[in-house]
Amino acid sequence: MIDPVSPPPPRWHPAVRSFLFLIAFLLIQTVAQIAIAAGRYLAGLDPIPDGGEWMLLVFALTAPPLVLVTVVFLRLLDRRGLASIGARQPAGGPRQALRQAAAVPLAVLGVLAAWLFAIALWPGTAVRAAGWSGETEGLAGALHLALLLAGFLVQGGVEEWLIRGYIYHALRQRWRRSVSVLVSALLFAALHGLNPDFSAAALLNTFLVGVILTFLVERSGSLWSATLAHGVWNFAVSCLVSLPVSGVRFPHLLALSVDGPALLTGGGFGPEGSLLLSLLALAVAAALGRRLPENSGVSP
């Protein structure tokens, strides 16, 4: 009987590869931002527009070259395939992917609704709704919302590809799952540090969200559910509930606001800066972290 040939070992330490991959990502994003600013300047527009929609365009332009860079990293340094970072269907195939496409957005909307309910009932805080915002009316408004949803799914997918895809799986080749989860979640939180109105509560919540998203990847073996959760959350908070998402505002459907101490409402950072969301995030992380499937952290 002939033993199968073992794949060649990766080059360099996973932390070194992860750092280089992060630098490559930041360079790609910088080039995309410069290209957008240059195009707007040549068109006689403000090179740096207000609002968050231009950020979604940056992520859309980032996605294709990031995939190419990933293929190069995986072939030359990691010596493994794209499936090893979760770029594949969830365990269970297309049917499971469809189930997650229905279940994950509903779960995300449920968490957001629970947070709004807590804000409405908590002493000293309130939710105020004043009907439709008028920013997304009619067919044009519906198409605008659809484009924003697509943009958020791309943005969420790019961030998942970067953190839970390449970096987390690279770290898992050398470190225990608990350490890899903590390090990748801390990096995810740190990358939000330059967003407007970032706070200690925002740091805590983005860290907890990073843990939750990693648990989703571990449970499904794919980036699919984490991408859905990430994109739908950002879209629902900013474009449906109409609050800042990670400190950034977008065109929105409802005229809604929350009143109360910033530690409870999130202030200018949005729900992700709220300690009430921290309680919900801890409960979700604990539920998803129970009885995770055994995994060596090394993928083919």
**188-209 pLDDT, tens digit each:** 999 999 899 999 999 999 999 9
**17-43 pLDDT, tens digit each:** 999 999 999 999 999 999 999 988 888
* pLDDT of residue 2 exceeding 80: no
3-state secondary structure of 130: strand
pLDDT recorded at residue 300: 42
Amino acid at 112: L
**Region 252-278: what's the mean pLDDT?**
92
pLDDT recorded at residue 292: 83
pTM score, whole prediction: 0.92
**Region 242-255: what's the mean pLDDT?**
87
* Helix (H) or strand (E) run with residue 280 in it: helix 275-289
Most confident residue range from 9-13, 45-49, 253-257, 258-262: 258-262
- How far is the C-alpha of 276 from the C-alpha of 272, rounded, in Å? 9
**Region 134-139: what's the mean pLDDT?**
76
- How far is the C-alpha of 211 from the C-alpha of 208, rounded, in Å? 5
| Lowest-confidence pick of 10-24, 52-66, 69-83, 284-298 | 284-298
| Beta strand residue intervals within the chain, DSSP E | 126-132, 254-259
